Amino acid sequence: MRRNKRNRTSDIDITPLIDVLFMLIIFFVLTASFIQGKIEVELPTGKGQSKSMEKAITVTVEKNGHISWNGKIISKEEMSILARESSDREILIAGDRETPYGTIAEILSILKNEGITSTGLLMQGGDK
């Protein structure tokens, strides 16, 4: 008995594989560019209202780093003492647009550590 030998060649269609590889390459290239790039954000202007504006304390942060507590220039250590004494009042932070974000975050951290539970950020009014 003779066997009929056929040449069987296996053809694999690699088109879907190439499509998947291109998609992965695009994904990784875009992801890498987002991680390395910086996104510039322009802070919004808006309108808001505090619960109790009469009793609110205003902390003003100038772009040169000076901090004012209801109009009186203070240091961060003095702010910690004043915040401890005013733990039942709302505090509104008015930061200059050019003030570094880290300065505002540091002030918020000091207020939180001293027991302030109600803080807000003052914004310039407008419809932008």
**Taking Cα atoms as reference points, which of 14, 16, 91 lies closest to residue 60?**
91
In degrees rounded to 5, what are phi and psi of residue 59? -105, 120
**Taking Cα atoms as reference points, which of 87, 88, 91, 69 lies closest to residue 78?**
69
Structural domains of the chain, ranges and CATH numbers in brackets:
57-121 (3.30.420.270)
* pLDDT averaged over 10-residue windows placed end to end, the chain, 128 residues: 64 89 91 59 52 74 82 86 84 83 87 84 62
Strands of the chain (E only): list them.
57-61, 67-69, 72-74, 91-95, 119-121
Q: pTM value? A: 0.55
